[in-house]
Amino acid sequence: MVKQLRSILESILSFHGDLTALYLSLKVKAEDEKSKMLLDHICKQEKDHKECIEKYMLTASEKILNRWIKNSAELPNMDFSECLKSVKIHNKLSVSEIGEIAIQFDNCIIKFYEMLALESSSNDLKEIFECLMKKSKKQEMNFSRDLLWLYDV
């Protein structure tokens, strides 16, 4: 099966939109104000990531966006519901539980970008997914730092 880059990026945008909606819905399960603060912070990160991809789609050439990518059987599906299956959500969520949920979703999308980079036959497509992967890894690293800070507050 093959997909156009545009279609893949739209799936990623949808994933981030669904993820933001999930985090917003979890605020009612937040154990305390720190947990709510963390969910707000995560939503902002998701919004930033989504805006970055939208900006790229607006500035990228049609030639690049219309490029086809072979989708092998090993390539995970960028399906929000599939990633959600591996996440445990309790009735009351602590800061650490919210952190675990966020890291699980980050790992899901990082794995997706890694596989896309490996599957890409051209250097320009490979660079796009490697860039997205690096941005996601940096975001995860910053999130871990912010999470530690929140524990100290």
pLDDT tens digits for range 82-107? 777 878 888 899 999 999 999 999 98
Q: What is the reported pLDDT for 71?
A: 62
Residue 76 pLDDT exceeds 70 = no
78: pLDDT confidence band, cut at 50, 70 and 90? Answer: low
Q: Taking all residues of the chain, what is their mean pLDDT, rounded to a whole number?
A: 87
In the chain, what are the domain boundaries? 2-152
Residue 73 pLDDT exceeds 50 = no
Residue 81 pLDDT exceeds 70 = yes
59: pLDDT confidence band, cut at 50, 70 and 90? Answer: very high
pLDDT tens digits for range 117-130? 888 878 988 999 99
The listed CATH number (3.40.50.620, 3.40.190.10, 1.10.357.10, 1.20.1260.10) that belongs to domain 2-152: 1.20.1260.10
Greatest CA separation found in the chain?
49
Residue 40 Cα distances to 1, 25, 26, 71, 95, angstroms:
38, 11, 10, 35, 12
- Gap between the Cα atoms of 26 and 15, Å rounded: 17
Residue 138 Cα distances to 22, 29, 115, 149, angstroms:
22, 28, 18, 17
Q: What is the arithmetic mean of pLDDT over 34-60?
A: 93
- pTM score, two decimals? 0.85
